[in-house]
């Protein structure tokens, strides 16, 4: 089962920052927060991930609260092409290179309005 | 384009027929995953390969489903005797193993194959 809670939908005006919240109150110390998005009829696209510290890349910023129980994905200047379902996923780290599957919830549908 | 590719992108078949999908991972990615996504839901894990070895299978992968990765490069997913409930998007993802110590791998997805069973 997904370990995260996200609002089912959000709206954002084009050109404004989109702030997508995620609650992961049961996260444990070795678990990462990952964000993916899925534009209609396409495969999921990796956005960003983090463990404790805030992270930024060319697509977005990830802000993780100090207690790590919630996080926010920030798209600084949303465009119409950012309209998608955004998934917040908590993944345990594994030692020695073992892998683990992604467990998706139903995500947040972000609608960017012109 | 050096991303994950999947073929075909769309497949329409009649109930009872067999279908096979192909996934080509990102070059040098030795890990390969299959997921299935039905309408309105997030993707669900089906199976995972590291090189040619199939290391994990979901209970969703019934005995009508079989996946292979014979040379540790491309992978195929076959569904035998398709049922209408098999209609879904089938997604493939690949990744490199993470570095040493406690870490995770980042999976990159292909465009998916949309299967419709009539």
Cβ contact, residue pair B95, A32, below 8 Å: no
Rg (CA), chain B: 14
**A42/B contact by beta carbon, under 8 A:** yes
Q: What is the spatial distance between Cα A63 and Cα A46, in angstroms, rounded to a whole number?
A: 16
Q: What pLDDT is stored for residue B71 in this prediction?
A: 87
For residue range A40-60, list pLDDT tens digits in order. Answer: 989 999 999 999 989 999 999
**B112/A contact by beta carbon, under 8 A:** yes
Q: Which chain B residues contact residue A105 at CB under 8 A?
A: 42
B71 with B4: CB under 8 angstroms?
Answer: no
User: Could you say which DSSP state residue A99 is in?
Assistant: -
- By C-alpha distance, the chain B residue nearest A107 is B42
Q: What is the spatial distance between Cα A61 and Cα B12, in angstroms, rounded to a whole number?
A: 40
CA atoms within 13 A on the CB side of B78: 10
Report the SS3 class of residue A82.
helix
> Smallest CA–CA separation between B104 and chain A, in Å?
5
For residue range B70-79, list pLDDT tens digits in order. Answer: 988 999 999 9
| Whole-number Cα distances in Å, A39 to A87, B27, B58, B91 | 11, 24, 26, 14
Q: What pLDDT is stored for residue B10 in this prediction?
A: 97
- CB proximity list for A10: less than 8 A, separation 6 or greater: A18, A20, A108, A109, A110, A111
- pLDDT for residue B63 is more than 80: yes
Q: How many CB pairs under 8 A join A and B?
A: 74
Q: Which of B23, B26, B55, B104 is the mutation pick for testing A, counting most A CBs within 10 A?
A: B104
């Amino acid at each position: 089962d997904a370990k995260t809670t996200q609002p089912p939908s959000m709206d954002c005006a084009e050109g404004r920052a989109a702030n997508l919240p995620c609650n992961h109150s049961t996260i444990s110390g070795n678990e990462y927060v990952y964000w993916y998005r899925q534009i209609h009829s396409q495969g999921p696209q990796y956005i960003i991930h983090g463990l404790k510290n805030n992270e930024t890349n060319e697509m977005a910023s990830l802000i993780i609260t100090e207690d790590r129980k919630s996080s926010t994905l920030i798209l600084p200047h949303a465009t119409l092409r950012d309209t998608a379902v955004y998934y917040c996923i908590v993944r345990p780290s594994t030692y020695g290179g073992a892998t683990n599957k992604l467990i998706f919830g139903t995500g947040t549908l972000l609608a960017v309005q012109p | 384009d050096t991303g994950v590719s999947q073929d075909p992108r769309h497949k329409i078949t009649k109930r009872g027929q067999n279908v096979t999908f192909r996934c080509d991972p990102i070059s040098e990615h030795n890990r390969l995953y299959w997921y299935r996504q039905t309408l309105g839901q997030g993707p669900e894990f089906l199976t995972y390969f590291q090189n040619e070895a199939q290391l994990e299978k979901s209970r969703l992968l019934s005995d009508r489903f079989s996946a292979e990765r014979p040379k540790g490069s491309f992978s195929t997913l076959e569904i035998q005797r398709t049922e209408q409930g098999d209609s879904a998007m089938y997604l493939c993802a690949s990744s490199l193993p993470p570095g040493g110590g406690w870490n995770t791998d980042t999976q990159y997805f292909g465009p998916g194959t949309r299967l419709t069973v009539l």
